[in-house]
Amino acid sequence: MSAFSDPFQKVRQESGVLQCPFHGENITMILRHEDVRKAAKDWQTFSSDAPFRVPIPSEEDVRSMRQLPIETNPPEHTDYREIVEPFFQRAKDPAMIAQVEALLEGMLTQALERDSIEIVNEFALPAQSRALTYLLNTAESEADTWIGWGIHVFKVTGGEFKSGTVLEDYLHAKFDQAEANPDADFFSALTQATFRDRKLTREECMGFANLAFAGGRDTIIHTISCALGYLAEHPEALEYLRADPKRITLASEEFFRVFMPLTHIGRVCPADTHVNGVTVKAGERISLAWASANFDETAFSEPQEVRLDRKPNPHISFGFGTHLCLGAPHARLILRTLLKLCCERVKSIIILKAEERVEHEAKFDRTLGYDALTVKLTPL
């Protein structure tokens, strides 16, 4: 699989920026590791106070509320983030760690008993969805509904936006239920939370929940699929991890660096801004190209090589600065747990069929892992 190819290398080395049209909008992509990190911290120049415009392409047509806290700047961002951070830190709690371990061990046991399993839809999607119920402290049965939405909440396979308001209708019903019969779950906590001495509005509750479902879903599914695909293509890597499970922590960070599902994220320039010789006019967008920055030769030695012992590894797959991903501990828990279980239980992974997923844009094509990956897992 060519998921660790780098379509931005030449332009990154020459100018550091790439102007590329996305759905009729010309966006300046910031490509270099140092430049991306600086821009991510400079929220006054590169603003996240841009409802619907932080994702690329924009999402005005698929949701009706601002996602929180990602589409705000400090100090609002700081205050909003504090409201939900306790739920996302649950991924560090021993009780939740045990739940995730039991979930993945059970799923792996079932997979090992089968002649084949399709990893993306039959393993990674259910694993992400069921683990999310633990994070949000809601009934695991809710995951059956979430699995039915598919890999991406807003898009179908192939990248086209879905129609309808399935996610919003679901969330409104959950908040209605939480207001009538509050519990200890994520939805109830939001209905009871306060922001600057007032209760959250329904729109704010919806903004938090919308991001919780849309934000890390594809990331976790993608990384699970790509990591297992890599171990299948490189059986020596599985043996390397099996020889010393302490290597899993560094290896998982390298998988997050290399298999970055999100090419970039948007920011809006409130005033005319010069970016590496390119003028971005007030109101126009730039992008922080995480996927390019993760392959920058000035930050990573031989970046196109997968080095499971890479250290240091200053990847920015979870963002950087103020907007560092709330779900990072959750993603790390799932991947590290899966790798540990593979070392303990899986002798080999054999690819039976693979359908690569490719992002086609006007000025680059980027491999994003798999739309489908069917494998045979052989037990130890």
CATH of the domain at 155: 1.10.630.10
Place of tokens 């020889």: 243
Q: Is residue 373 part of a domain?
A: yes
Say what the pLDDT of residue 164 is: 65
Domain that holds residue 96: 9-379
Q: What whole-number distance in Å separates Cα of residue 134 and Cα of residue 263?
A: 28
Is 157:368 a contact under the CB 8 Å cutoff?
no
Q: Are 112 and 346 in contact (CB under 8 A)?
A: yes
Q: In what order do the strands lie in the sheet with 17-22?
A: 17-22, 25-30, 285-288, 265-268
Is position 358 within any domain? yes
Three-class DSSP category at 56: coil
Q: Radius of gyration of the chain from Cα atoms?
A: 20
Return the pLDDT at 328.
96
One pLDDT digit (tens) per residue for the chain, 380 residues: 444 679 999 999 999 999 999 988 999 999 999 999 999 999 999 999 999 999 999 999 889 999 999 999 999 999 999 999 999 999 999 999 999 999 999 999 999 999 999 999 999 999 999 999 999 999 999 999 999 998 888 776 666 766 667 899 999 999 999 999 999 999 999 999 999 999 999 999 999 999 999 888 888 999 999 999 999 999 999 999 999 999 999 999 999 999 988 999 999 999 999 999 999 999 999 999 999 999 999 999 999 999 999 999 999 999 999 999 999 999 999 999 999 999 999 999 999 999 999 999 999 999 988 999 999 999 99
Predicted pLDDT at 161:
67
Q: Is residue 123 part of a domain?
A: yes
Question: What counts of helices (H) and strands (E) characterise the chain?
Answer: 15, 9
CA–CA distance, 264 with 368 (Å, rounded to integer): 13
Strand, helix or coil at 270?
Answer: coil
Q: Is residue 303 part of a domain?
A: yes
- pTM: predicted TM-score of the whole model, two decimal places: 0.96
The reply to whether 3 falls in a domain is no
- State which amino acid sits at residue 177: Q
Res 1: pLDDT? 45
* pLDDT of the residue at 2: 43
Question: Is 78 contained in some domain?
Answer: yes
2 in a structural domain: no
| Number of domains the chain is built from | 1
Q: What is the pLDDT of residue 243?
A: 98
